Amino acid sequence: MVVCNSNNSSTGSSSNGSNRTSGSSSLIVEVVVVVVAAAAAAVVVVVVVVVVVVVVVVVVAVVAEIESKFYFFIGQDFPS
C-alpha cells in the first residue's frame, strides 16, 4: 500500500507524489488508504450479492413462466 518504509523520509516516495516530512502524516494517509480500500471492498461485495440475488430471482421467474406455459400447452391448468 505505502511504498515509503523509511522513518521521517523527506523525499516522500509514495504513490501520490507528495513530500512528507513527518511519520504521523504518513500513518494518517496509510489509515485513510486502508479505510477507503475496505469501504471499496465492502461496496463490491454488496454489489455482487445484489447482482446474484437479482439473477436468481429472474431465473426463478423465467422458469416459473416456462413451466406455466408448458402446463397450459399440454392441456393442464396453471399450477397454483
Residues 6+ apart with CB under 8 A from 4: 11, 12, 13, 14, 20, 26
Look up the pTM and report it.
0.49
Q: 71: Cβ–Cβ under 8 A, 6 or more apart, which residues?
A: 77, 78, 79
Amino acid 61: pLDDT? 92
CA angle 16, 18, 24 (to 5 degrees): 100
**Mean pLDDT, contiguous 10-residue spans, the chain (80 residues):** 49 50 78 97 98 96 83 59
Q: Yes or no: say if 47 and 35 are a contact pair by the CB < 8 Å rule.
A: no
